[in-house]
Amino acid sequence: MSVFIGSKVETVRLMAQPEQIFQQMSIRIFNKRQQIINDMIDKQVSFRDKDNRYRTGICKNIEGRHARINEGGRDVIINLDSILF
């Protein structure tokens, strides 16, 4: 899965205000990440466990770089990079 986060910027504006353009892009990245997180909550996700086995569960929340997944009535905490998108 990939996500497009881009914008077209006037050359003059980029040359004159690079910090402002960078700040706007950072906000877009944060907003897109938050949208992805919101879309994952209460949805079934697949992930790899510590033994590299594939498992599924319901994503309950995401904090920082970790997700809490309910799998068969118990919660497991996994790194976000273990989720299969």
Does the global pTM surpass 0.75? Answer: yes
Per-residue tens of pLDDT for the chain, all 85 residues: 788 888 889 999 999 999 999 999 999 999 999 999 999 999 999 999 989 999 999 999 999 999 999 999 999 999 999 999 8
Q: Which domains does the chain have, with CATH numbers?
A: 9-40 (no CATH), 42-85 (2.30.30)
End-to-end CA distance of the chain, in Å? 6
Cβ neighbours of residue 32 under 8 Å, at least 6 residues apart?
A: 3, 5
